[in-house]
């Protein structure tokens, strides 16, 4: 038998209809369009305003898009990995809510939290269930309702984040396509620079924590920028070298959409021409776990079977990694 690899057999995505532009933010906080575009590359982001809707709502919309395109039966789905930083609840898992809403009665699932690197962690984890032959259809979701944990009086963070998400269907491949290799890292010493201060077991919600706006993203931008550029560049370089890849060999580079300047700096260090770099941050901002699947979803028609694609991400805490795949369809 030929070696089984885990390949993406289809992608889906969804973003809310409501748009929050830089000009809208000018009315909410002390900032301006030129400043935001120059420093982040973001012009607008989407905000989920449906009453009572959480991250599962975004994920379900994205999965429905995928199921429709791939003609996949919900009863054939065996595992759902939901990569998110903004679960609907502390428990039950958002993956379980997704499965129930869609009628995936033959699937089990769990949530995976690795901040903005979550979707990479999820693809890497999901691929193991395929490669061992245990499962044939695994959904890896990357979605976040970041507006639920943003302080719209903090101009350092409210200009960056948006809501949205996507999903990839992993299936077995016998042609040598799909996920070839990955390298993942984490370092909790980075926690002070990008975190949420309250809401967990260490500091449960209280009047004091709410009044102090501690249930929102805190970021020390300059430090995060430096670590993101260095670590994304280093891990991607090592992964490419390990697989004998040069920038000329690469068909597409798909980086986490955190900041346009980070994306350009990493691409420059890798010597990858900007024409090969997938970028849509200008429209959606940083959707955390949603950025990579939204890139795959939006640019799906530009990918060709056999294309050599490298994904790279960096997240709070810190987490980072890179994944190399050969596009399978």
- DSSP E strands in the chain: the ranges are 5-14, 19-21, 44-46, 79-83, 108-112, 138-145, 163-173, 178-186, 194-196, 217-219, 252-255, 308-315, 319-326
Task: Give the strand order in the sheet containing 79-83.
Answer: 5-14, 163-173, 138-145, 79-83, 108-112
Write down the catalytic residue from 22, 256, 289, 295. 256
Mapped onto helix, strand or coil, the DSSP state of residue 66 is: helix
Is 116 one of the catalytic residues?
yes
Q: Which of 293, 186, 309, 314 is nearest to 243 (CA)?
A: 309
DSSP state of 123: H
For 72, 150, 185, 201, 311, the CA distances from 162, given in Å and listed in that order, are 29, 9, 25, 26, 20
**What is the DSSP annotation of 269-308?**
HHT--GGGB---HHHH-B-GGGHHHHHHHHTGGG--TT-E
Q: Which of 62, 66, 77, 184 is nearest to 123 (CA)?
A: 184
**Any idea which residue has 């995976």 for tokens?**
112
Write down the catalytic residue from 82, 83, 116, 158. 116
Write down the catalytic residue from 22, 173, 231, 286. 286
What positions carry a catalytic annotation? 116, 256, 286
């Amino acid at each position: 038998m030929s070696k089984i690899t885990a390949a993406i057999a289809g992608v889906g995505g969804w973003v809310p209809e409501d748009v929050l532009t830089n000009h809208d933010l000018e009315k909410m906080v002390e900032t301006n369009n030129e400043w935001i575009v120059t420093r982040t590359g973001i012009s607008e982001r989407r905000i989920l305003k449906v009453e009572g809707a959480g991250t599962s709502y975004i994920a379900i919309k994205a999965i429905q898009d995928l199921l429709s395109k791939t003609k996949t039966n919900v009863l054939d789905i065996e595992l759902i990995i939901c990569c998110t930083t903004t679960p609907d609840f502390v428990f039950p898992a958002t993956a379980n809510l997704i499965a129930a809403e869609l009628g995936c009665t033959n699937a089990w699932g769990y949530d995976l939290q690795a901040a903005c690197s979550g979707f990479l962690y999820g693809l890497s984890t999901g691929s193991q269930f395929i490669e061992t032959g245990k499962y044939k259809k695994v959904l890896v979701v990357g979605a976040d309702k970041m507006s639920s944990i943003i302080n719209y009086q903090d101009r350092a963070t409210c200009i960056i984040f948006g809501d949205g998400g996507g999903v990839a269907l992993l299936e077995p491949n016998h042609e040598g396509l799909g996920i070839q290799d990955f390298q993942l890292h984490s370092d909790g010493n980075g926690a002070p620079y990008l975190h949420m201060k309250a809401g967990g077991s260490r500091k449960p919600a209280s009047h004091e924590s709410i009044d102090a706006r501690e249930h929102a993203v805190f970021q020390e931008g300059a430090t995060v920028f430096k670590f993101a550029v260095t670590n994304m560049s280093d891990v991607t370089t090592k992964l490419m070298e390990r697989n004998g890849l040069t920038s000329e060999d690469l068909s597409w580079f798909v980086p986490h959409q955190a900041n346009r300047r980070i994306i350009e700096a990493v691409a420059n260090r890798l010597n990858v021409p900007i024409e090969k770099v997938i970028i849509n941050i200008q429209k959606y901002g940083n959707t955390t776990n949603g950025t990579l699947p939204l890139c795959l979803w939006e640019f799906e028609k530009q990918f060709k079977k056999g294309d050599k694609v490298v994904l790279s991400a960096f997240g709070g805490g810190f987490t980072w990694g890179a994944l190399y795949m050969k596009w399978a369809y």
